[in-house]
Structure 1
Amino acid sequence: MRAIVLRRSGPPHMLRVEEIPDPVARPGEVLVQVKAAGVNFADVLARQGLYPDAPQRPFIPGFETGGEVLAVGDGVNGFRVGQRVLAYHRSGGYAEQIAAPAANVHAIPDSLGTQSAVVLPLNYGTAYVALYRTGPVESGMRLFLHAAAGGVGLAVIDLARRAGLEIVGAASSHFKRERLQSEGVKHVVDSRRAHVDRVARDLYGRNGGFDIIIDSVGGRTISQGIRALRPGGRLVSCGVATLSKRGILGALGLLFSTPRIDPFRMLARSRGFYGVHLGQLMRDPVLVREVLDELIRLADAKEIHPEPGRVMQLAEAATAHHLLERRRNVGKIVLRV
């Protein structure tokens, strides 16, 4: 089969197409003919050698895939050959076939396309946990969203709009800000110029603030965000896009720019801070299945609308990484296999 194999960490061109042996379904596994694979920021960090949960090289990147069942291993029930399924695993997605643990495989309903289904596990999964598993969500709450035109950002908007939140979204380019306006975001700001604490003051006055801030950027935006919370508000950190800019130098810069969280000050001001790392949460199969079952139900009922922002060929994985690393993507990038 064809697969993207990473043998050395480094820039995007390290992602190369190779012919490797087909996998087989071992006991407890489902063999899937991959039709679509999601591209995620964690893949970029893994390629750069900055993702601690990445497997040892060489490996095939890719956390999430959609396709059809080719075979099932011994002891697996509930799946049939030809059935459309969604699978997630810590690696192996950028390939024509993947053997995934049956516990990590979900049936795709007829109402949901395979490429759309691939948007759900990491992007919508992160968005769902960041919104609904960190505190209350009530209509009228104020939400500030960094990197709002990215894959996770648009997923948060889809879920938050359904919940009736007042959304303020930040994006770096005119094109991205236009996309946010088309998504019904109430206030759209330029992330290169607008600090979240200043935005809160301009919109809501000196004593105002946000109920929820979702931050996938990291660094200085954390301290700005904490200042922008109203009493009872929470900041949810779910990524470190700053880390990809300059590799190890970026990691050092992030270390020095990220504030230390003072629990006594947070307590005194009734503010909360949460971290959401879906790679870690995926070690809890019960939680992941609950979240994915709910997201698939919502998509099947047309209450949310997962769609890829861009579809590229498997051989274009390096270009996809370049776009994601440089923040030139709008929405989720999906590889057609």
Structure 2
Amino acid sequence: MAAPGGGADLPLSSHPGASSIEHGVEMMNAQSTLQTMRIVRLDEVGPPENLKLVEQPVPTPGPGEILIRVALAGMIYGDTEARRGTYFKPTPSPFFPGREVAGEIVAVGPDVTGYQTGDRVLALILAYGCWADYVIAPLKETKAHHGGRIPPSDIVKLEPETGFAEALPYLVNFRLAHMLFHGSSKVPQGATVLVHGGAGGMGSMVIQLAVDHGCTVIATCRGAAEADYCRALGAQHVIDTVSEDYVAATLAACPGGVPYSFNGVGGDAINRDFDVLAPFGEIQAYGYVAAKTPFDSFRLGKSISLKTFSADDYLKTPMFPAATAAMHEWFRTRTLRGVDVILPLDQVVEANRLLDAGRVTGKIALEAAMRVG
């Protein structure tokens, strides 16, 4: 394959808006002979402005690789952590962000079976480089440019009736939420759960799973728009932390304390959750968008459990195929909650600013509709 390299910087757009994704793919189909593409490159960790849109040759898939023409590239909080250099693993330089994509296979390399050009797919690509017009997806374990090993890409074929924007949030956010909710916590039907950051990409998926499981959901959020969003997902109790103390409001809704807290916020909430949990309650600490606050494990008066999270550990367990099977079931049987915010690829800086500021409701993605000419 042609590895990501330097490339010429391209201007970043300041004009908002996004076209129809499926129409964008049709436009790209007419341009399959393009020799160059756009890709987002990070040369130095730091603020969103460090991200550059560069042009480089479209890569050619090697043995055991496929080439995907990108329709949508998903964004998660971990992407901004890698950009800032505060992720749990060092960010290489240069770095080509993006690990989740929806698009169409346009070329397959030697020794590839089970996939062909024209397949519509979701892909989790831990070799990164998805914030681009095209991306290589290795189907076998590969060696990283900066040492270590990269797991094979996780490819999910889509049925014709399932749109890219509908399906993308379920590739990463849904499956991670499913592994936490059903795999790790094994939440019983009808339980009461507290979901922090209920309007976020992960929090919204936990709410959907909990509602589907017959649970009573208490969701925290910030502001009226997020509150409306959480209610639309089915949360019965919504706490706006801008104007309410979530501990008092949670205990008012569930006087005996909640048995489960799904906490992707961190900050003060990681310790204040102690006060809202029932005896032997459980905190799933899977994020820290507010802050990486140490947990005080020596508070007295109550027995609780704290579970931490590493996706790499979960992917090696039966919880991952179970979550994948559940995702396919939802594709077939549920009304899907698709991508909520779509910005063009050349607005990647603005998209990162929105994530940094916590101003994204639901799932955000970049649209990689190709340019004419």
Fold equivalence (TM over 0.5): yes
Q: 1:160 maps to what in 2? A: 210
Q: 1:95 maps to what in 2? A: 132
- Could you tell me how far 1:55 is from its partner in structure 2? 4.4
Q: 1:191 maps to what in 2? A: 241
One-letter identity of the residue aligned with 1:86: L
Q: 1:176 maps to what in 2? A: 226
Q: 1:32 maps to what in 2? A: 68
> Partner of 2:278: helix, strand, or coil?
strand
**Contact between 2:62 and 2:110, CA under 8 Å: does it hold in 1?**
yes
User: 1:48-197 counterparts in 2 under 5 A?
Assistant: 48-53=84-89, 55-90=91-126, 91-102=128-139, 103=152, 104-197=154-247
Rg (Cα) greater in structure = 2
> Partner of 1:298: helix, strand, or coil?
helix
Q: 1:224 maps to what in 2? A: 272
Using the size of structure 1 for normalisation, the TM-score is 0.88
Q: Which runs of 5+ in 2 are unaligned?
A: 1-36, 140-151, 369-373
One-letter identity of the residue aligned with 2:58: D
> Partner of 1:241: helix, strand, or coil?
coil
Question: Following the alignment from structure 1 to structure 2, what is the Cα–Cα distance between the partners of residues 52 and 136?
Answer: 27
Question: Following the alignment from structure 1 to structure 2, what is the Cα–Cα distance between the partners of residues 281 and 315?
Answer: 34
Question: Following the alignment from structure 1 to structure 2, what is the Cα–Cα distance between the partners of residues 25 and 260?
Answer: 50
Question: Following the alignment from structure 2 to structure 1, what is the Cα–Cα distance between the partners of residues 319 and 110?
Answer: 25
- Could you tell me how far 1:160 is from its partner in structure 2? 1.1
Q: Structure 2 vs 1, CA of residues 293 and 33 (structure 1 numbering), >3 Å: closer, same or farther?
A: farther
- Could you tell me how far 1:30 is from its partner in structure 2? 1.8
Q: 1:240 maps to what in 2? A: 288
Identity between Structure 1 and Structure 2 (%): 26
- Could you tell me how far 1:52 is from its partner in structure 2? 2.8
Q: 2:363 maps to what in 1? A: 332
- Could you tell me how far 1:112 is from its partner in structure 2? 1.7
Deviates more, 1:139-148 or 1:100-109: 100-109
Question: Following the alignment from structure 1 to structure 2, what is the Cα–Cα distance between the partners of residues 258 and 76?
Answer: 46
Question: Following the alignment from structure 1 to structure 2, what is the Cα–Cα distance between the partners of residues 6 and 169?
Answer: 35
One-letter identity of the residue aligned with 1:226: F
- Could you tell me how far 1:269 is from its partner in structure 2? 4.2
Q: Structure 2 vs 1, CA of residues 175 and 297 (structure 1 numbering), >3 Å: closer, same or farther?
A: same
Out of 40, 43, 46, which is 2:79 matched to? Answer: 43
- Could you tell me how far 1:173 is from its partner in structure 2? 1.0
Task: Report the structure, 1 or 2, having the larger helix content.
Answer: 1
Q: 1:250 maps to what in 2? A: none
- Could you tell me how far 1:42 is from its partner in structure 2? 0.6
Deviates more, 1:173-182 or 1:159-168: 173-182
Q: Which runs of 5+ in 1 are unaligned?
A: 244-253
1:277 and 2:313 matched: no
One-letter identity of the residue aligned with 1:291: A
> Partner of 1:23: helix, strand, or coil?
coil
One-letter identity of the residue aligned with 1:59: F
Q: 1:312 maps to what in 2? A: 343
- Could you tell me how far 1:183 is from its partner in structure 2? 2.4
Question: Following the alignment from structure 1 to structure 2, what is the Cα–Cα distance between the partners of residues 129 and 191?
Answer: 27
Deviates more, 1:282-291 or 1:96-105: 282-291
One-letter identity of the residue aligned with 1:175: A
**Contact between 1:27 and 1:74, CA under 8 Å: does it hold in 2?**
yes
1:296 and 2:346 matched: no
One-letter identity of the residue aligned with 1:87: A
Q: Structure 2 vs 1, CA of residues 178 and 84 (structure 1 numbering), >3 Å: closer, same or farther?
A: same
Using the size of structure 2 for normalisation, the TM-score is 0.80
- Could you tell me how far 1:175 is from its partner in structure 2? 1.2
One-letter identity of the residue aligned with 2:180: A
Question: Following the alignment from structure 1 to structure 2, what is the Cα–Cα distance between the partners of residues 209 and 7?
Answer: 47
Q: Structure 2 vs 1, CA of residues 289 and 101 (structure 1 numbering), >3 Å: closer, same or farther?
A: farther
**Contact between 2:179 and 2:319, CA under 8 Å: does it hold in 1?**
no
Question: Following the alignment from structure 1 to structure 2, what is the Cα–Cα distance between the partners of residues 306 and 75?
Answer: 36
> Partner of 1:129: helix, strand, or coil?
helix
**Contact between 1:220 and 1:258, CA under 8 Å: does it hold in 2?**
no
> Partner of 2:290: helix, strand, or coil?
helix
- Could you tell me how far 1:242 is from its partner in structure 2? 1.8
| Count of paired positions | 318
